[in-house]
Structure 1
Amino acid sequence: MASSPFASSSVPRHYARGVVGLLAVVAAIAGVALGAPAALALLLVTAVAWRGCPTCWAVGLMQTRERTGCADGDCRAR
């Protein structure tokens, strides 16, 4: 399978990126409610962690799982 800009090197690493993005977006929303100017920076952190949007993250998760599931050459459905 060709390399994808959305996939990660491992599934745990991809989940970690998702958690970082989710925490950053929650903090950004709370920061906007409190009037913190750093909220915009947190949205940038979210975009970088998710490599775009939540859908981009989900597509990357599927691609990462597909790539790691075929690592041993056995790509049958399980």
Structure 2
Amino acid sequence: MCSLSITWHLLRGAGALALIAMAVLLSQEHPWIAPPAIVGALLLLRGCPMCWLVGLLERLSARKTQTASDTTSQRVS
């Protein structure tokens, strides 16, 4: 099961993706909605999409390392 921080990270990514899709799909009929949607997506991603992806990979790596150290410490005890 994902830890809470990974779940929140994925939810932030999904929200940003929804805002980006909304900005692209609605930009023809409502051009005023695109800039706030893009800004909202960048705020949810806390930067660029690549920064969000690197953050996700770091969280997954930290979780894997923590799980491995927990398993090792249980064997020693």
Using the size of structure 2 for normalisation, the TM-score is 0.73
Normalized per residue, the structure richer in helix is 2
Partner deviation per Cα, 1:12-69 (whole Å, 9 max, x = no partner): 1111011001000000111212133121000011101111111111101011112222
- Which residue of 2 is the match for residue 28 of structure 1? 23
* Match status 1:56 vs 2:51: yes
Equivalent-residue separation in structure 2 for 1:18 and 1:75 (angstroms): 29
TM-score normalised to the size of structure 1? 0.72
Matched, 1:15 2:15: no
Quick one: percent identity of the two aligned structures? 24
Q: How many residues align?
A: 68
What are the ranges of 5 or more consecutive residues in structure 1 without an aligned counterpart? 1-8
User: Looking at CA atoms only, which structure, 1 or 2, has the larger radius of gyration?
Assistant: 2
Bigger relative CO (Cα 8 Å, ≥ 6 apart): 1
**RMSD (Å) for aligned C-alpha atoms:** 2.2
